[in-house]
Structure 1
Amino acid sequence: MITERAITLRERRVAVLEGGAGRDLVFLHGAGGLTADDPLLRHLAARYRVHAPLLPGFGASEDAPELREMLDVTLHGFDVIDALGLARPLLVGHSMGGMIAAEMAAIAPREVEALALIAPAGLWRDEHPIPDLFAMLPHHLPALLFHDVALGERLLTGGLNLEDPQFLIGFLVRNARQLGMAGKLLFPIPDRGLADRLYRIRARTLLIWGESDRLIPPVYADAFAAGLTAAAALHRVLIPACGHLVGAERPEAVLTALAQAGF
Structure 2
Amino acid sequence: MSAGTPLAGHFAPGTLPLRDGHIGVVELGEGPTVGYLHGMLGNPGVHAVLEELAAAGHRVVAPSLPGFTGSSEPEGLRTLHDWVVATSEVVDLAGLAGAPLVASSVGAMLALELAAIRPEAFGSMVLVAPFGLWDDGDPVADPFGTTLSVQRAMLTEDTEASAAFFDDPTDLPADMVVEHGVHRYLTRTAAAQLIWPLPEWGLAERLHRVANPVTLVHGAKDRIIPASYLDRWAEALPNVAGTHLLDDAGHQADFDQPAQVAQIATAAFA
Fold similarity call, TM over 0.5: yes
Q: State the Cα distance separating 1:210 from its structure 2 match.
A: 1.1
Kept in 1: contact 2:225–2:251 (CA 8 A): yes
Q: 1:243 aligns with which of 229, 247, 250?
A: 250
Give the distance between the partners of 2:185 and 2:267, measured in 1 at CA: 39
SS in 2 for 1:110: helix
Kept in 1: contact 2:96–2:122 (CA 8 A): no
Q: State the Cα distance separating 1:8 from its structure 2 match.
A: 0.9
Alignment partner, residue 64 of structure 2:
54
Name the aligned partner's letter for residue 35 of structure 1: P
Asked if 1:68 corresponds to 2:75, the answer is no
**What CA RMSD, in Å, does the superposition of the two structures yield over aligned residues?**
2.4
Q: State the Cα distance separating 1:73 from its structure 2 match.
A: 1.5
Asked if 1:14 corresponds to 2:20, the answer is no
Counterparts in 2 of 1:201 and 1:148: CA distance versus 1, 3 Å: same
Q: State the Cα distance separating 1:226 from its structure 2 match.
A: 1.3
Alignment partner, residue 100 of structure 1:
110
Asked if 1:214 corresponds to 2:223, the answer is yes
Alignment partner, residue 163 of structure 1:
none
SS in 1 for 2:225: coil
Q: State the Cα distance separating 1:239 from its structure 2 match.
A: 1.1
Alignment partner, residue 129 of structure 1:
139
Kept in 2: contact 1:142–1:156 (CA 8 A): no
Asked if 1:141 corresponds to 2:156, the answer is no
Counterparts in 2 of 1:138 and 1:180: CA distance versus 1, 3 Å: closer
Alignment partner, residue 241 of structure 2:
234
Alignment partner, residue 224 of structure 1:
233
Q: 1:89 aligns with which of 84, 96, 99?
A: 99
Q: State the Cα distance separating 1:103 from its structure 2 match.
A: 0.9
Summarize deviations over 1:200-231 as a string: whole Å, max 9, x none.
Answer: 010011101111111111111111111112x2
Alignment partner, residue 212 of structure 2:
203
Counterparts in 2 of 1:234 and 1:188: CA distance versus 1, 3 Å: same
Summarize deviations over 1:161-218 as a string: whole Å, max 9, x none.
Answer: xxxxxxxx98975454223322221010111111111110100111011111111111
For this pair of structures, how many residues does the alignment match? Answer: 252
Asked if 1:28 corresponds to 2:37, the answer is yes
Name the aligned partner's letter for residue 251 of structure 1: P
Unaligned runs of 5+ in 1: 161-168
Kept in 2: contact 1:92–1:101 (CA 8 A): no
Counterparts in 2 of 1:21 and 1:154: CA distance versus 1, 3 Å: closer
Q: State the Cα distance separating 1:13 from its structure 2 match.
A: 1.0
Alignment partner, residue 175 of structure 2:
none
Give the distance between the partners of 2:95 and 2:147, measured in 1 at CA: 39
Give the distance between the partners of 2:165 and 2:118, measured in 1 at CA: 35
Kept in 1: contact 2:91–2:121 (CA 8 A): no
Kept in 1: contact 2:103–2:128 (CA 8 A): yes
Kept in 2: contact 1:2–1:20 (CA 8 A): yes
Q: State the Cα distance separating 1:148 from its structure 2 match.
A: 3.7
Kept in 1: contact 2:168–2:181 (CA 8 A): no
Kept in 2: contact 1:70–1:184 (CA 8 A): no
Alignment partner, residue 3 of structure 2:
none
Counterparts in 2 of 1:87 and 1:138: CA distance versus 1, 3 Å: closer
Counterparts in 2 of 1:84 and 1:245: CA distance versus 1, 3 Å: closer
Q: TM-score by structure 2 length?
A: 0.84
Identity of aligned residues (%): 33
Unaligned runs of 5+ in 2: 1-9, 170-177
Alignment partner, residue 200 of structure 2:
191
Give the distance between the partners of 1:82 and 1:33, measured in 2 at CA: 19
Q: TM-score by structure 1 length?
A: 0.86
Give the distance between the partners of 1:171 and 1:215, measured in 2 at CA: 25
